[in-house]
Amino acid sequence: MSVNPIYEKLTSCVEAVRARTDFVPKVAIVLGSGLGDYAKQIRVETEVSYADIPGFPVSTVPGHAGKFIFGYVGDVPVVCMKGRVHYYEGYAISDVVIPIRLMKLLGAEILFLTNAAGGVNTSFHAGDLMLIRDHIAAFAPNPLIGPNVDELGTRFPDMSEVYDRKLSQIILDTAQEYDVYLQEGVYTQMTGPSYESPADVKMLRVLGCDAVGMSTVVEAIAARHCGMRICGISCISNLAAGLSPNPLNHKEVQEAADKAAPKFQKLVTESVKKFA
């Protein structure tokens, strides 16, 4: 039988990490752009730079410096991705999801996705946090295109509950407990790197989208394919195009996300502690 090249690359990435640490995480956390220095919340055991993993996709975006942080949030062993790559950087979509599959093969059963996003729902405000209830995948390339990686999952995986109900309830309860105002909604991934036009945003709203960004959906699909339980939070860093008089720029998006970082970090930390 011929070896699937995607699986072969993944296996060599796993070996490179395993040459540096034998830490087994339970929860994998992906940090979105500008969402603060989450490492402060982690009792760090060890770190592995993406650059030390041959074949691993390395981000080209300022503010997305890349490394895995292994350690504990409370008593829960976690691996945290500081920096992720985006499809718009030019990587093959199968490369964009290598990190997710890698963390699964290192032992992670749960994936906590975070991002900065534009608010499409007109009742949202910049600085709000949104629990991701579901997503629209139709505008992003499917990360499972190509020969199926049978070692990870089936050819036609079910996506009827991508975002785990129990994990989501824990996040909602935790938000209430710590007085963090939490919106809920549907996230859509566009490819970027240009932001949407006002007409794009109007279309997305008609389709039932509440928040728009350039990540997360392809990662969620790859994670579901390999059987991970998933939850996600968007930080609404800005109102999407057409909803505010100001043009969008990356710096302001990052600054708004940074401002929401303390409540975001609290919510992630206290929720993850209950994922034990």
Q: Kindly list the residues in this chain that would bind ligand HPA in the complex (CB under 6 A).
A: 116-118, 195-196, 212-214, 237-238, 240, 248, 253
Catalytic, 38? Answer no
Decide the pairing of beta strands 211-213 and 182-189: parallel
Q: Could you confirm whether 130 is annotated as catalytic?
A: no
Cα distance between residue 57 and residue 7, in whole Å: 15
The b/e string for 123-142 (b: 16+ C-beta within 10 A; e otherwise) is ebebbbbbbbbbbbbebbbe
Closer residue to ligand HPA (CB): 132 or 212? 212
C-beta of 169 vs 197, nearer to ligand HPA: 197
CA dist 68 and 80 (Å) reads 6
The residue among 59 and 237 lying less far from ligand HPA, judged by its C-beta, is 237
Helix (H, G, I), strand (E, B) or coil at 164: coil
Candidate list 64, 94, 168, 175, residue with the active-site label: 64
One-character DSSP codes across 4-39: PHHHHHHHHHHHHHHTT-----SEEEEEPTT---GG
Tell me the sheet residues that pair with 106: none
Asked if 225 is an active-site residue, the reply is no
Question: 28, 33, 117, 234: which one is catalytic?
Answer: 33
Dist CA 58 CA 64 (whole Å): 9
- Give min distance, CB of 52 to ligand HPA, in A: 29
Assign residue 146 a region (left: φ > 0; alpha: ψ between -120 and 50; beta: otherwise): left
Catalytic choice (7, 148, 250, 252): 250
Query: At closest approach, how far in Å is the CB of 194 from ligand HPA?
Result: 9
88 is catalytic: yes
Indicate the residue whose CB is closest to ligand HPA.
118
116 is catalytic: yes
Does residue 238 have an active-site annotation? yes
Least Å distance between CB 85 and ligand HPA? 15
Shortest distance in whole angstroms from residue 259 CB to ligand HPA: 14
86 is catalytic: yes
What is the length of the chain? 276
- Active-site residue identified among 59, 121, 238, 271: 238
Catalytic residues: 33, 64, 86, 88-89, 116, 214-215, 238, 250
